[in-house]
Amino acid sequence: QGCDPFAQTQRSKLQHRRARINQQINKEMRMRAGAENLFRATSNHKVKETVALELSYVNSNLQLLKEELEELNSSVDVYQNDSESISVPMIPLGLKETKELDLLVPLKDLISEHYGEEAVLFEKEIKEFMELRQAMRTPSRNEAGLELLMEYYNQLYFLDSRFFPPTKSLGVFFHWYDSLTGVPSHQRALAFEKGSVLFNIGALHTQIGARQDRASLPGLNQAIDAFQKAAGAFNYLKENFSNAPSLDMSTASLNMLVRLMVAQVQECVFEKMTLLRSQHNFLARLQLAQEAARVEDVYLLVHQTMTQAHVKDYVPFSWTTMVHVKSEHFKALSHYFAAIALCDCPAATDAELPEQEKAFIQFHVTMPEGPSLRVLLQDPEERRKLGKAHLKKAIMKHEEAMRIHGLCKILRKMDILQEVLSFAHKRSLSKYSEIDHEEDFFETGDAPDIHPKTHQKPEIKSPNFSQVKVTDLFHRLGPLSVFSAKNKWYPARRVHLMRGENGFGFTLRGDSPVLIAGVIPGGCAAEAGLKEGDYIISVNGKDCKWSKHAEVVQLLKSTGEEGVEITVITL
């Protein structure tokens, strides 16, 4: 459940194309490494020339493949919803791809060497684990897909404890491709596998967020929740998994992704306000303007993060452009709503004045030039003047957003964004011509910027791993407190005991597994070589690794004159 391997949706076609490009990039990288080694090793001038030519060919091939991959990573529209309404597109992330992994032999070796068990008896569990890994490579884009990834992530905790000793490597490499560049990386550490799965949990949240219908309140709330959880997953990854070999999991990239998700939440909060508030009220429009200024602020921060040295060459140009476009677009909207509040709402009455004055004092970053607040709020002509200044600035910013949008070939193909930008631009223009009087001889001033403020701060929601309960697939090996990869024990010993006058001559404590707490000197147990601290793992052939104290006592009590055979281990 939660796995969607055959659904040839646009998204899975996209993933298949990405997987294909990833493989080609991998092949070209191997060829490049071989050619570079040969170039360094040879002293023959002719061979050097040939190799240099081959290298330039391989490098141009790699460049083309990376451009093709960037275009795929920018296929934002594939992840959006199919609703008729026009919403600004959001940026989702593609999943990291991984290679198949065969754990049958390494795990069987460890089961027989470390645990001293018949490895053949655990083939079913190993296959079940490998099937789970295969399924989580293609999660469905819904709650079930998220649960599948969580289930696998939680199973990795048990796998780590059971099969990854601190001193010895399992000899298995985990291969994953970078989400944005397709460059392959591999590591022996299970932490890389865990981190990559966690990255995919975040990426899947972004896809779920991007496909919500944001024209309705439930859709907006789900989008907010999804982007907050995506931010939480990337943030958790940043704080708990360092030294990942791939760029998408570097601190700089994760920092950028957390900020991008927070900005997308903030944008949804703005959309939610436009749905909920009646926009005919002066204070509500001021709030909308401040909310838009807040969205502009967070996108500006994302744009600065994306243009930093470590991130700039790595992030798709279309992402950087889209974030830049959005920061200009929302700045324009903040000035537009300020103008609407001033021009479309009636001048303040004496009763409304105190409340409006209070809101307006904190509205601008710097106070507008001209008359006092009281005069401004009560004089329709003064309001129109300031409104006109705000509209002038809005139009300039709309035009700037459209100019930046036009610089990116990939974004030019995106009709939705084009429509949103030109609609907002036309709306501001028509408002400007409506309030512009022919007899206006004053020079339209420069409107001050609007102070950013939000009524709903985005939360970074960390992943809740406990919501998906899993049982340890390898629980038959025994309780983890004893039977783990980090513990070592001597080979199991079988001991035959006869009941003496004082019973078997030992005392027990604890549960699963039960421990020999004390051995009576000269008693039957002492003669048989049992020691304090031994664990009882079977009684008369019945496995007792998981047995409770009372169950083991009952088994020992029920033995007859022929005595009892127990198996113990010593750590």
**Spatial distance between the Cα atoms of 420 and 340, rounded to a whole number of angstroms:** 19
Please return the burial class of 57, using the count of CB atoms within 10 Å of its CB with bins 0-12, 13-18 and 19+: middle
CB-based contact 495:529 (threshold 8 Å)? yes
CATH, range 91-249: 1.25.40.280
Q: What is the pLDDT of residue 463?
A: 93
Torsion of CA 141, 147, 148, 149, to 10 degrees: 90
Query: Is residue 364 classed as helix, strand or coil in its secondary structure?
Result: strand
CB-based contact 497:525 (threshold 8 Å)? yes
Helices and strands per DSSP (H, E), number in the chain: 18, 8
Query: Is residue 393 classed as helix, strand or coil in its secondary structure?
Result: helix
Q: What is the pLDDT of residue 83?
A: 46
Phi/psi for 569 (5° steps) reads: -125, 155
Q: What is the pLDDT of residue 524?
A: 81
Q: How many CB atoms lie within 10 A of CB 217?
A: 12
Say how many CA atoms lie within 13 Å of 128 toward its Cβ: 11
**Degrees, nearest 5: CA angle 14-186-182:** 25
In tens digits, the chain (571 residues) has pLDDT values of 777 766 545 555 666 677 777 778 878 888 888 888 888 888 888 888 888 888 887 887 777 777 777 666 655 555 555 544 567 889 998 888 888 889 899 999 989 888 888 889 999 999 999 999 999 998 988 899 999 999 999 999 999 999 988 888 888 899 998 888 888 888 988 999 999 999 999 999 999 999 899 989 999 999 999 999 999 999 999 999 877 788 889 999 999 999 999 999 999 999 999 888 766 788 899 999 999 999 999 999 999 999 998 888 888 888 999 999 999 999 999 999 999 999 888 887 888 888 888 888 888 888 878 778 788 888 888 888 899 999 999 999 999 999 999 988 888 877 788 889 999 999 999 999 888 877 766 666 788 899 999 999 999 999 999 999 999 999 999 898 888 888 888 888 888 888 877 777 888 888 888 898 888 888 888 888 888 888 988 888 888 888 898 888 888 888 777 788 888 888 8
Q: How many CB atoms lie within 10 A of CB 488?
A: 9
Integer CA distances (angstroms), 503 to 499, 551, 563, in order? 5, 17, 11
Q: What is the pLDDT of residue 84?
A: 46
Structure tokens at 425: 């631009």
Q: What is the pLDDT of residue 279?
A: 60
**Spatial distance between the Cα atoms of 504 and 525, rounded to a whole number of angstroms:** 6
**Spatial distance between the Cα atoms of 474 and 472, rounded to a whole number of angstroms:** 5
CB-based contact 88:423 (threshold 8 Å)? no
Q: What is the pLDDT of residue 144?
A: 92
pTM: 0.84
**Spatial distance between the Cα atoms of 379 and 372, rounded to a whole number of angstroms:** 11
Of the candidates 184, 318, 160, 305, the residue with the CA atom closest to the CA atom of residue 238: 305
Which residues 6+ apart lie within 8 Å of 346 measured at CB? none
CB-based contact 333:292 (threshold 8 Å)? yes
Helix axes 217-240, 251-276, angle to 10 degrees: 160
Q: What is the pLDDT of residue 5?
A: 66
Which residues 6+ apart lie within 8 Å of 558 measured at CB? none
Please return the burial class of 471, using the count of CB atoms within 10 Å of its CB with bins 0-12, 13-18 and 19+: exposed
Sign of CA dihedral 480, 481, 482, 485: positive
Q: What is the pLDDT of residue 396?
A: 95
**What is the identity of the amino acid at 103?**
L
Of the candidates 89, 97, 86, 84, the residue with the CA atom closest to the CA atom of residue 14: 97
Integer CA distances (angstroms), 70 to 63, 64, 353, in order? 10, 10, 54
**Spatial distance between the Cα atoms of 507 and 517, rounded to a whole number of angstroms:** 5
CATH, range 489-570: 2.30.42.10
Integer CA distances (angstroms), 110 to 125, 156, 567, in order? 14, 16, 21
Helix axes 10-41, 45-73, angle to 10 degrees: 160
Structure tokens at 63: 């460049």
